[in-house]
């Protein structure tokens, strides 16, 4: 990003190590391809009461890197304040023969972080969430004016309930913004939003509610606000706009997730730096942004399919990634238009479905509005796909090119494949399945997906461990499948 105070939202650019300048400021994770192998990634873990680390070049030393720490606000010459003895974060080198190998069985960041600090985690529930922000709290063909109001939020809750979606995330706008964000009142909703009525409706529909908050007013009255949310029956918070990783902000993160845990609230961090393993200590921290995600399609063409298949090998090495998938207005190459009303995604619908498998996020968004999903092919996959897993296999992939991931939950395997703007055909060995016959329910690019991004083919196939899946990916395409034991054979 070239600066310390950022939201970690940009492309991952390819550059030779020798071309990094002493003035360069590189965010982590840094993925390094060594000619002839291996592949290496540089990260940090257990970032606690310390400053986030960046990397830069070294004068007259090609391929060397120097670490730099995020300075305290207004103190460019001071990064960490404390008394000895003081523990520092781990500096982590991940090493594997292939980039896919870096992702598989990747728990080093967690294992280097402090053990769980919560005596009881039974209340923490992963899941999927309906979400109003990406579409501007929009609804179509409804008997009310859509927007940030009680009727619209209840409408999204009804959709979530009807399709087995565990949460509804009510994003920015539910409380009154002021000219000074520090003074925003997080305990009183805007006149159009009746939070008690919405929470009562959600309870009746068996849907839990997450509320968006800006970090600045939360920091002022954290205990009071989060205690009130627990009393109201709120299930979690989305905390936004931090855009820093200096020591003061790192300490805010810990205080936030710790206080939220004390009030039985799950947490989603946005405007955030990369994960550093804090979710091991406080597992109520379900997911984290710190990535240029699909929201950029509202105003730019930057989140391309090439970017989509780069972030699994870069940002996702650090931990769960809130990429906000689920767009159902899908644009083939050359047909995308950045817009806020009825926003679009780049690539195919199967590309979006595959994100739910490829991207690790115990809290997964459904970015679109209810009418975009109802009656549409592909919704069934979103309904069924889990958000936490028993096993993961990275079957193939290259950064910026493509990726194929298989994840297991219970007796079922889920497969997600994504490509950049290049069409591909692949054969995927299924030797990870184990004995027996399996039925594969496939959601693949339709035959005309290169022209119409919404084109989706549905099929049922019989497969076994000694066989292969034949996958055809359109430009910007994807593939998603559910493999279940075939009890009839």
Whole-angstrom distance, CA of residue 172 vs CA of residue 414? 33
Whole-angstrom distance, CA of residue 299 vs CA of residue 288? 22
Catalytic-labelled residue, pool 184, 295, 360, 371: 295
Do residues 52 and 275 make contact, with C-beta atoms less than 8 angstroms apart? no
Do residues 92 and 45 make contact, with C-beta atoms less than 8 angstroms apart? yes
Active site residue 240: yes
Whole-angstrom distance, CA of residue 1 vs CA of residue 22? 15
Closest CA to 16 of 5, 4, 24: 24
Whole-angstrom distance, CA of residue 336 vs CA of residue 473? 18
Whole-angstrom distance, CA of residue 467 vs CA of residue 470? 10
Do residues 1 and 25 make contact, with C-beta atoms less than 8 angstroms apart? yes
Do residues 55 and 49 make contact, with C-beta atoms less than 8 angstroms apart? no
Distances (CA, A) of 238 to 44, 279, 289: 24, 15, 10
Question: Under the phi-then-psi rule, with left for phi > 0, alpha for psi from -120 to 50, and beta for the rest, what region is 375?
Answer: left
Catalytic-labelled residue, pool 132, 171, 240, 322: 240
Distances (CA, A) of 247 to 216, 281, 392, 398: 16, 18, 34, 35
Catalytic site positions = 240, 295
């Amino acid at each position: 990003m070239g600066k310390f105070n950022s939201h970690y939202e940009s492309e991952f650019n390819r550059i030779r190590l020798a071309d990094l300048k002493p003035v360069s400021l590189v965010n982590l994770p840094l993925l390094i391809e060594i000619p002839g192998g291996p592949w290496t990634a540089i990260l940090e873990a257990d970032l606690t009461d310390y400053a986030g680390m960046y990397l830069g070049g070294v004068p007259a030393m090609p391929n060397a890197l120097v670490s730099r720490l995020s300075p305290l606000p207004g103190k460019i010459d001071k990064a960490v304040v404390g008394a000895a003895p003081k523990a520092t974060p781990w500096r982590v080198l991940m090493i594997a023969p292939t980039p896919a190998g870096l992702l598989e069985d990747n728990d080093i960041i967690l294992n280097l972080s402090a053990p769980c600090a919560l005596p009881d985690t039974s209340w923490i529930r992963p899941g999927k969430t309906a979400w109003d922000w990406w579409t501007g709290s929009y609804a179509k063909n409804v008997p009310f004016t859509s927007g940030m109001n009680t009727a619209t939020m209840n409408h999204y809750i009804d959709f979530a309930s009807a399709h087995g979606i565990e949460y509804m995330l009510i994003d920015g706008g539910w409380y009154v913004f002021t000219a000074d964000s520090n003074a925003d009142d997080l305990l009183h909703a805007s006149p159009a939003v009746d939070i008690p009525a919405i929470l009562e409706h959600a309870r009746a529909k068996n849907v839990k509610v997450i509320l968006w908050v800006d970090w600045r007013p939360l920091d002022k009255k954290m205990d009071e606000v989060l205690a009130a949310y627990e009393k109201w029956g709120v299930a979690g918070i989305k905390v936004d706009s931090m855009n820093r990783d200096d020591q003061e902000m790192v300490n805010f993160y810990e205080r936030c997730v710790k206080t939220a845990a004390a009030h039985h609230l799950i947490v989603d961090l946005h405007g955030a730096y990369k994960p550093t393993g804090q979710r091991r200590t406080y597992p109520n921290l379900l997911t984290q942004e710190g990535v240029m995600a699909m929201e950029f399609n509202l105003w730019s063409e930057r989140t391309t399919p090439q970017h989509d298949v780069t972030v699994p090998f870069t940002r996702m090495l650090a931990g769960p990634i809130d990429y906000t998938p689920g767009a159902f207005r899908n644009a083939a190459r050359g047909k995308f238009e950045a817009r806020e009303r009825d926003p679009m995604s780049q690539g195919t619908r199967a590309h979006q479905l595959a994100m739910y498998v490829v991207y690790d996020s115990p809290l997964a968004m459904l970015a679109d509005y209810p009418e975009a999903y109802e009656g549409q092919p592909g919704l069934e996959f979103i309904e069924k796909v889990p958000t936490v897993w028993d096993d993961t296999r990275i079957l193939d992939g290259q950064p910026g090119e493509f990726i194929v991931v298989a994840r297991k939950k219970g007796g079922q395997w889920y497969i997600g494949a994504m490509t950049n703007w290049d069409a591909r055909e692949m054969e995927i060995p299924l030797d990870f399945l184990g004995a027996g016959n399996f039925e594969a329910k496939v959601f693949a690019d339709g035959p005309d997906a290169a022209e119409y991004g919404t084109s989706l083919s549905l099929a049922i196939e019989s497969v076994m461990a000694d066989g292969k899946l034949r996958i055809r990916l359109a430009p910007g395409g994807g593939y998603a499948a559910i493999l279940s034991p075939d009890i009839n054979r």
